[in-house]
Structure 1
Amino acid sequence: MSEPELVQLRVQDGVAAVTLNRPERLNSMTADLLEQATRALETVAADPSIRAVVLTGAGRAFCAGGDLSRGAGGGVTDGVDPESRAGLLRRFMETSKLLHEMPAVTIAAINGACAGAGLSWACACDLRYASAKAKFNVAFLNAGLSGDFGGTWTLPRIIGYGRAREKYLVSEPFDAAEAERIGLVSRVFDADRLLPEVFGIAGKIATAAPLAVSRIKQNLVDSEFADFGRSLDLEARRHTECVESDDGREAARAFVEKRVPQFTGR
């Protein structure tokens, strides 16, 4: 019997669509879904032809976090000896690191319910866009949990430490308009326009100079740890690489000749 496709991966024109496919349970996380998500994200992270990744959910939800109908934490580590449970969870949490650090630009298309570890996944992405119908909640406290998948690291860097503390410690739901107001998402679209708009953005990124896109992302990731002087050093080195690349020269020629550049990734 074939394995249910709980995470769908489709690639076209340099854009990967990763769709969580458990709509009957609001795409909530199980061990099987996390195994498939890990494989899908490892695949796209290792493929240099993929320039942008869109993460979304099937049906009316993005991801509601762990499936609490299976017990605390969604039963993700059930059947594993106590000494190994944190290690297994940490392996699954590598998905957030992949979303945050892979060379491709990652985009969360938040089409509905986005809570708990699902919100952590969205926060790990480079960009976030929401449907007007989307609903958000950190939700861990309500489930008697402290939080996982990197949300306590990413959310404060997106909306500020004060607001992040409130979202975690008060744990009240909020809508798409509030998410846009506090800067959690960049834009809110009508539900039927979300995916066309997001894939349009992903397509633009996929046709931009690949070396420049990857170096911009590297600079932004490194800036989270490096001091200002180190960031300047990294910017200077990577900017020079782009100036001296075939794509850098092609971009300059295309600008002068008033035509669309043809990038090769070199």
Structure 2
Amino acid sequence: MTEPRVLVEIDGPIAYVTLNRPDKLNGIDLDTIDGLIAAAATVRADRDVRAVVLRGAGRSFSAGLDFGAAFADKKRVARYFVAGPRRLNRFQRVNQVWRELPVPVVAVVQGHCYGAGLQLVACADVRFTTPDATWAILEAKWGLVPDMAGTVPFSELLPADVLMRLAMTGESFSGTRAAELGLATEAVEDPLAAALSLVDQIVARSPDSVAATKQLVYGTRRGTARRAWRLERKLQAVMFKARNTSIARKAGAAKETPEFGPRTFG
């Protein structure tokens, strides 16, 4: 029986989403794309999930798109590439879904983080990497451009000249350098432990305010100040009415640990 390309394990408030082709350095093929999109849908539907840990099985996060496997069915590739003028195609959707989830997504990187894998990591909300991991925006090696929704987070995380250098050359760089550039959040010897430490802090807060904060941050990265102010007011009005906000306020006043209910926002 073929192992699933993507594993989803829900352990209490944490969903572990794992790329599961370790023998191929978690190279991404079309079935992996389908598995990741399905995994995001599973997480979204479970309102008790408070955070996602996104990782790769084995010694690498992902060596990028597996061209041989992905392009074996050219008709399927063509279907995945087509998109309407205001819609994402499936190659873009597989990464954008993680930015759209109403829970934080924390990526754990080791080994290789190349091409499509790096674009997936960039679409996580927080990224912990081992110092010796190897990162590369590798599409230039194949005469291509990044086209899996990674350019939006790349442009948010990196100055234009740095992004152009990395995307035009496809040069590789370490996890330490990724953190120095701001592409990774932090380079640490045990990125999974760092991810879980952060998740513990997030889980201690209202799941509704966490979801609203994620929407607020991404919703105000671009556009006018007036638009940002409107979004602030809109989200805060919803938070005032949320049951978990009341739980947080009562627990804070009583100096007790809050016991939140399921997420109601997002």
> Corresponding residue for 2:245?
248
On the 8 A contact 2:80/2:91 being kept in 1, the answer is: no
CA distance in 2 between counterparts of 1:169 and 1:163 reads: 10
Match of 1:75 among 64, 70, 73: 70
> Corresponding residue for 1:115?
114
Structure 2: give runs of 5+ residues left out of the alignment.
none
> Corresponding residue for 1:230?
227
* Aligned CA-pair RMSD: 2.1
* Compared CA separation, residues 251 and 55, structure 1 to 2 (3 A): same
On the 8 A contact 1:130/1:194 being kept in 2, the answer is: yes
> Corresponding residue for 1:139?
138
On the 8 A contact 1:38/1:92 being kept in 2, the answer is: no
> Corresponding residue for 1:157?
156
Letter in 2 for 1:250: I
Measure how far apart 1:225 and its partner are: 4.1
What TM-score do the two structures reach when normalised by structure 1?
0.89
Letter in 1 for 2:74: G
> Corresponding residue for 2:260?
263
1:161-180 to structure 2, matched below 5 A, reads 161-180=160-179
> Corresponding residue for 1:87?
82
1:165-204 to structure 2, matched below 5 A, reads 165-190=164-189, 193-204=190-201
On the 8 A contact 1:120/1:150 being kept in 2, the answer is: yes
CA distance in 2 between counterparts of 1:125 and 1:217 reads: 11
> Corresponding residue for 2:17?
18
* Compared CA separation, residues 259 and 35, structure 1 to 2 (3 A): same
Q: Identity rate of aligned residues, in percent? A: 27
Measure how far apart 1:179 and its partner are: 0.7
User: For 1:80-129, what per-residue CA distance to the aligned partner results, in whole angstroms no more than 9, with x for missing partners?
Assistant: 17864622892242111111111111111112210101000001111111
SS at match of 2:99: helix
Letter in 2 for 1:161: A
On the 8 A contact 1:137/1:172 being kept in 2, the answer is: yes
Letter in 1 for 2:202: I
User: For 1:43-98, what per-residue CA distance to the aligned partner results, in whole angstroms no more than 9, with x for missing partners?
Assistant: 11232221211111011111111124x1xxx5346331786462289224211111
CA distance in 2 between counterparts of 1:81 and 1:19 reads: 24
On the 8 A contact 1:156/1:163 being kept in 2, the answer is: no
Measure how far apart 1:214 and its partner are: 0.8
On the 8 A contact 1:15/1:203 being kept in 2, the answer is: no
User: For 1:120-143, what per-residue CA distance to the aligned partner results, in whole angstroms no more than 9, with x for missing partners?
Assistant: 000111111111221100011112
On the 8 A contact 2:95/2:150 being kept in 1, the answer is: no
Bigger drift between 9-18 and 203-212 goes to: 203-212
On the 8 A contact 1:54/1:106 being kept in 2, the answer is: yes
CA distance in 1 between counterparts of 2:175 and 2:231 reads: 36
CA distance in 2 between counterparts of 1:45 and 1:54 reads: 14
On the 8 A contact 1:251/1:261 being kept in 2, the answer is: yes
CA distance in 2 between counterparts of 1:41 and 1:211 reads: 18
SS at match of 1:140: helix
User: For 1:215-249, what per-residue CA distance to the aligned partner results, in whole angstroms no more than 9, with x for missing partners?
Assistant: 10111121134421111111122123223433223
Letter in 2 for 1:103: P
SS at match of 1:200: helix
SS at match of 1:80: helix
SS at match of 1:104: coil
* Compared CA separation, residues 254 and 44, structure 1 to 2 (3 A): same
CA distance in 1 between counterparts of 2:185 and 2:176 reads: 11
What TM-score do the two structures reach when normalised by structure 2?
0.89
Structure 1: give runs of 5+ residues left out of the alignment.
none
